[in-house]
Chains A and B, each alone.
Chain A
Amino acid sequence: MKLILTDEQKDLSASVRAFLADTSPMARVREIAESAESYDPAVWRRMSGELGLTGLAVPEAYGGAGFGMSELAVVLEELGAALTPAPFFASAVLAAGVLVQLGDESAAKEYLPGIASGSVIATLAEGTLHSRATDDGSYLLTGTAPRVLNGLDAGLILVVADSPAAVYAVPSDAPDLVRTPLTTLDLTRPQARLEFAGTPARLIGPLDATSALARTMDLASVALAAEQLGGLRRCLSTIVEYAKLRVQFGRFVGSFQGVKHKLADMHCTLEQAESIVRYAAWAADFAPDELPVAAALAQSFVGPAYFAVARDHLLLHGGIGFTWEHDAHLYYKRAKSAELLLGPPRHHRALLAQRLGLR
């Protein structure tokens, strides 16, 4: 079990942090959040090209760098800390993840290199969807995926349909596909509703992809926890700095025990969350048997932990924290939307109970 970063991983983290501080500072994040854009294409190009982040965990055979979850987690921590608006989670985590897990050689060859290079943005769509086979061996999809991450940005949509579940590929310009943007609490991460009305689709992988999808979701749970850890750490360091500057009653507010003890508890939460994320990433890479429990553990703990810390960091700013101009609400909203992204905490706790053999 490896719970501390290697020197190479620390270097990776430092270079991603420096890149994001330079190209995607909070002022820029805000600009994008308040515009109709969902991300900055120039930053995306450099992130995926120059830094190779989108291909980091894609196998070398498909144009990636072949690293594991431990490295991907380090990158996601920085993206989560900087709140960078980008289709990274949709494309490099969910879509790339499911393509790797499905083990469909020809689909992987066709789609993964584009995702790895960043030239294709892909996403994963789930909902109430059905497929119908046509005479020529292709499929038609019908139904609705109510909330699809970066559903409008994606050029390639990987759709989960039927029960047992199978995965289908649909290009975004396919006929009989309607994409409607949703209003999201989190301004840095767009979602859309996708309606399929006999949309032509290509089957990828087996007709029963249950186990590949379960593993994809477990890996995504770990990846999301890493992103949440980054946000949590940033919120804590921001409010600690503020508590050292803000004076009331002739004292720095950080010297009041009501504040100090809350910050100390937040720090304890950070220490635990980091330990869980390192462990879960290690399990993803080296102990596949432990992954199901580790993934459910990660989302059950880190999701609510991030929201609690983001909430308290906002509150400890006082009135300024409630203003639109302050960044605190951006983190608060991201923390809440992330906590629910792969199912609410009760879903992950139920999974954990099941996997621990409690039910």
Chain B
Amino acid sequence: MTDLDEYSRKARAWLAGHPAPADPSVSDARALMAQLYDAGYSGITWPAEYGGQGLTEAEERAFQQATRDVTLPINVFGIGLGMCGPTLVSIGSEEQKRRYLRPLLRGEEIWCQMFSEPGAGSDVASLQTRAVFDGEAWILNGQKVWTSVAQHADFGLIIARTDPEVPKHKGITMFVIDMHDPGVDVRPLRDMTGQSHFNEIFFDDVRIAPDQVVGEVNGGWSAAVTTLLHERVSIGMGSARTDRPAAYENVAATAREQRLLEDPIVVDRLVDLYLRERSFDLLNARMSQEVKAGIFPGARGSVIKLLLAELTLYSADVASEILGPETVAYDSEENGKIARALAWGPGMALGGGTNEIMRNIIGDRVLGLPREPQVDRDMPFRLLKVGTQKEAEA
């Protein structure tokens, strides 16, 4: 047995000994993070001096594999662990790393990521939230939207406009902000699942100390790109099978119980679902092996994010076609699984960048295709058209 096999075996044993509560709350998640930290499974690849384990991607992937078939209800930490933390590890200051990483890994502090705004989503570099330096501190005003887990968050990474006189990519700065600041007003938004996964946030003269700048002043765009790269890899490769109620195995089992397999069309649809799901899983497994071998997926993270979004939408759709009207009219939580998958599907295809944006990235950065002409690239931000325009102005 290799060391890695031994590592996986121990991780599996640990996970088996720590079953998730049926209906986990945020405090359950905090407690579980603390246990993971104590057991050495939190921040596996993060530097040891900041609370991580200082191990390699190989151990990280082995642990991920071990969690594939169990529910690890730490979603509320997903943004911190998958995006904010790795951003601080790669470009944060020494003090930022010391202050923020360990409490995150221990489950003491929840993080959110505030990029999108009403006028700037796919084109997040068009953001309008302003931060102005008053000689002592940065003063933040504006609005963010679609911010996942902000209602629970203690800290957040935010990008704001710090120089409107230069082209849009060049006048942005990234900051850490305290979500409990009185000038931060978080209002949960109800999404199409009926729950509140994301929020809108208003900033009213929030003071940010200069040492909370992440990376360089006006260098926020490259910092944001770092975060987004982590995001796609973490969304795509982090998907556990238990996250897919419309997974082939479940749908096939239900179809069998309901004696639907006599219908050749049902069988063919199931074959299709199997093909799509298996090809995704095998690609995911292959990318993990590449990571273990030292090949980082980079922009290819967008391939896996796009395919996962399409699989999520498709499998809920085809499951409802196979199983019929009872998937959308039901009398118990358990029987509402496909309906919830139908309601969640679009979220997967929008959050972390839309399918169109993923295709742009694959075209530009994986295949090296020529970019589209950009009308806004070199123009000072102040002169740009941004967001939703009135008809008369359009």
Contact = CB atoms under 8 A, between A and B. Distances in A.
A208 interface: no
B367 A255 contact: no
B369 A240 contact: yes
Interface string A242-261: 01100000011011110011
Nearest to A236: B367
A218 interface: no
Contact of B370 (A255, A265, A274): A255
Contacts of B31: none
A240 B268 CA distance: 33
A276 B367 contact: no
Nearest to B261: A358
A279 interface: yes
Contact of B279 (A2, A244, A251, A276): A276
Contact of B286 (A3, A255, A257, A300): A3
B307 interface: yes
Contacts of B370: 243-244, 251-252, 254-255
B275 A297 contact: yes
A255 B370 CA distance: 5
Contacts of B360: 257, 260-261, 264
Interface in B254-279: 261, 267-268, 270-271, 274-275, 278-279
Interface in B277-331: 278-280, 282-283, 285-286, 289-290, 293, 300, 303, 306-307
B303 A271 contact: yes
Interface string B369-390: 1111100000000000000000
B36 interface: no
B286 A353 contact: no
- Residues of B contacting A: mostly: helix
A267 B303 contact: yes
Nearest to A247: B370
B288 to A, nearest CB: 9
A274 B286 contact: yes
A353 B283 contact: no
Size bin of chain A's contact surface: 35 or more
A275 B290 CA distance: 12
A242 to B, nearest CB: 11
A238 interface: no
Interface in B350-375: 356, 358-360, 362-364, 366-373
B268 A349 contact: yes
Nearest to A2: B289
Nearest to B364: A260
Interface string A276-300: 1011000000000000000001001
B84 interface: no
B150 interface: no
B201 interface: no
Given A251-B370, A358-B252, A4 B271 contact: no
Nearest to B255: A358
Contacts of A356: 252, 270-271, 274
Given A255-B371, A261-B363, A264-B363, A3 B282 contact: yes
A263 interface: yes
Given A264-B363, A349-B268, A353-B268, A275 B283 contact: yes
Nearest to A1: B285
B359 A264 contact: yes
A117 to B, nearest CB: 35
A349 B367 CA distance: 31
A15 to B, nearest CB: 21
A272 interface: yes
Contacts of A1: 285
Contacts, number: 115
Nearest to A351: B271
A262 to B, nearest CB: 9
A261 B369 contact: no
Interface string A326-359: 0000000000000000000000010011001011
A268 interface: yes
Nearest to B362: A264
A244 B359 CA distance: 16
A243 B369 contact: yes
Contact of A255 (B252, B289, B372): B372
A243 B306 CA distance: 22
Contacts of B271: 300, 349, 352-353, 356, 358
A255 B360 CA distance: 9
Nearest to A261: B359
Q: Which residue among B280, B283, B306, B363 has the maximum number of chain A CB atoms within 10 Å of its CB?
A: B363
A264 B366 CA distance: 9
B261 A251 contact: no
A4 B274 contact: no
Nearest to B288: A3
A207 B65 CA distance: 46
Contacts of B282: 3, 272, 275-276, 278-279
A111 B371 CA distance: 57
A184 to B, nearest CB: 28
A352 B274 contact: yes
A267 B279 contact: no
A301 B275 contact: yes
A358 B252 CA distance: 8
A278 B286 contact: yes
Contacts of B289: 2-4
A66 B134 CA distance: 75
B372 A353 contact: no
Given A257-B372, A275-B283, A300-B275, 19 more contacts: A3-B289, A243-B369, A244-B369, A255-B370, A257-B360, A260-B363, A261-B363, A264-B306, A264-B358, A264-B363, A264-B366, A267-B367, A271-B307, A275-B285, A279-B285, A352-B275, A353-B267, A353-B271, A356-B271
Interface of B: 252, 261, 267-268, 270-271, 274-275, 278-280, 282-283, 285-286, 289-290, 293, 300, 303, 306-307, 356, 358-360, 362-364, 366-373
28 contacts: A3-B282, A240-B368, A244-B370, A251-B370, A252-B369, A254-B367, A254-B370, A255-B370, A256-B372, A257-B356, A257-B372, A260-B369, A261-B356, A261-B360, A263-B363, A263-B369, A264-B360, A264-B367, A265-B359, A272-B282, A275-B282, A297-B278, A300-B271, A349-B268, A352-B274, A352-B275, A358-B252, A359-B267
The list of the 8 closest CB pairs from A to B, nearest first, reads A260-B363, A264-B362, A275-B282, A3-B286, A272-B279, A254-B369, A264-B359, A252-B370
